[in-house]
Amino acid sequence: MPLVVTHRVADVAAVKTPLLIIPVAKGALPPSLAALDRISEGALGRCWAAGDFTGVKDETALLYPGGNGPERVLLVGIGDADQASAATLRRAAAIGGKKARSLGAPAAAVAYLRDVAPRVPTGRAAQSLAEGVPFGAWHFPDLKRPPESPKPAFERCELIIDAADAEFGAGVTRGNAIGAGQALTRGLQVLPSNTCTPEFVAARAREIAARHGFTVTVLDRAAIAKAGMRALLAVAQGSALEPRFVILEYRGSTAAPVVLVGKGVTFDTGGISIKPAQSMEDMKFDMSGAAAVLGTFEALGALKPNQHVIGLIPLCENMPSGTAYKPGDVVGSHLGKTIEVVNTDAEGRLILADALSWARQYTPAAVIDCATLTGAIVVGLGHTASGLMGTDQALVRAVLAAGEAADERVWELPLWDDYRELIKSDIADMKNSGGRAAGSITAGWFLKEFAEGYPWAHVDIAGTAYADRETPTQVKGPTGVMVRLFAEFLLART
């Protein structure tokens, strides 16, 4: 059951809850907590007096105030009040959500104190808090045997505001929609490839479409072949599993659509150019772009913006076998251009090439693809930002702005003509790898060759799709990155 966030007008001192999460700025005990301090017989004041809590970023203190109010209080530091942004509040809420889950609290509340982040509009604050709590609480126990004395599941969270505010309620609704989309994405990302096959992802797309009334089409191998998606077929030919190509459509307007494309390699062994064994298990996350597109559609179903959105998801496995494509093979593509495969591990760009070419038929207003595309982007930007490239500066700016609003940071890399040299082939129109130099940019250039006739942007999420260790806001594993960015991008267009 996804965690549902509600909101209610109340005095924080009067909230009966197993856990009251309070984001607090740096400085003295805020006046808005005076009543809570009183009913807890000065527990909050003593915490400040002892110097145990000062409100710096990510600092926490857990108190047991006694009395008739909250059973526990979790103070979460957010740093300077006048620097606090929506992202600051989202982060504090995530830290709180993570704690609520690990404590085994069945329910929690979050106090929204106006003096804590005065620069953030109330609607934005509500949205961020409603996104943050389930983000932090997310975990994946499904494949473990249940413990003998299981902790209660964290199922309900209410945001507490001091006075009625319509903006606040609207923000909670947006946050719930986006949070549910992101949870769906993470739930798909985390699944191992023996469960999460191309057909499994396609079935999930059908299920989402049925629930929200979207149009969905799934092409099987025969239909993919008929459509001429030779690059997708080449990658898929080494696997015992059939590829799929998913087309989702949300028609909230009759305008030219925004097309979202997600890389759906359900497992990437590298193929004949096989990857080393070290961390190869992480390559179950190579469908994170696909999962992000599905999570965005889940959010669209609840947000219902007046937008026209199409999702394209090429799905396959990249395996070495007797039928696998091989280094040196030249393959065709949906667009007709020929590709020399110099490295079978550069498979994502091949399947995306066919999806980008397929997108032309919609005469889209914009096409954005996202993909766990290159190890080079992890070298360049680490796990802090996704890489952005594109052919249209207005679109690139809009993606940057959406990333800022979502706190899913993206950083632009150049697609200068000079880099095209690196993927020149002696015998085909291009080769699928330009080697180590500028590895993320040459991958982007390869995609650009197929993104003909529309504004296009590409987001490389290889460094941001999953966390390889626990962080203050999440467990180790999938991040659901791009769901918030896509949602902000689409909401900003309405």
Among 348, 390, 439, 455, binds Zn ion (CB under 5 A): 348
Q: Which of 315, 320, 376, 384 is nearest to 348 (CA)?
A: 315
Do residues 434 and 422 lie in contact, with contact meaning Cβ atoms separated by under 8 Å? yes
Residues 248-287 within binding reach of Zn ion (CB under 5 A): 265, 268, 286
Residue 376 binds which of Zn ion, Mn ion, ligand BES, none (CB < 5-8 A, kind-dependent)? ligand BES
Q: What's the closest the beta carbon of residue 362 comes to ligand BES, in angstroms?
A: 26
Strand 156-161: give its sheet, edge to edge. 4-9, 156-161, 107-111, 20-24, 73-77, 60-63
Binding site for Mn ion (CB under 5 A): 268, 345, 347
Residues 432-461 within binding reach of ligand BES (CB under 6 A): 433, 439
Cβ neighbours for 379, distance < 8 A, ≥ 6 positions apart: 439
Dig out the tokens for 235 from the structure. 């990658």
Give me the 209-248 binding string for Zn ion, x by CB under 5 A, dash otherwise. Answer: ----------------------------------------
Neighbours of 407 (CB within 10 A): 18
DSSP 70-81: -S-EEEEE-S-G
343 binds ligand BES (CB under 6 A): yes
Among 131, 345, 354, 407, binds ligand BES (CB under 6 A): 345
Beta strands in 78-204 (DSSP E): 107-111, 156-161
Residues involved in catalysis: 275, 349
For 258, the enclosing helix (H) or strand (E) is strand 258-262
Q: Which of 325, 262, 257, 329 is nearest to 290 (CA)?
A: 262
Give me the 301-340 binding string for Zn ion, x by CB under 5 A, dash otherwise. Answer: ----------------------------------------
Give me the 351-380 binding string for ligand BES, x by CB under 6 A, dash otherwise. Answer: ---------------------xxxxx-x--
Q: What's the closest the beta carbon of residue 287 comes to ligand BES, in angstroms?
A: 10
- Please state the φ and ψ torsions of residue 379, each to the nearest 5 degrees: -65, -45
In angstroms, the CA 292 to CA 261 distance is 9
Q: In the complex with Mn ion, which residue's Cβ is closer, 48 or 450?
A: 450
Q: In the complex with Zn ion, which residue's Cβ is closer, 165 or 286?
A: 286
Dig out the tokens for 445 from the structure. 């250039």
425 binds ligand BES (CB under 6 A): no
Give me the 376-395 binding string for ligand BES, x by CB under 6 A, dash otherwise. Answer: x-x-----------------
Query: Residues in the site for ligand BES, rule: CB under 6 A?
Result: 268, 286, 343, 345-348, 372-376, 378, 433, 439, 462
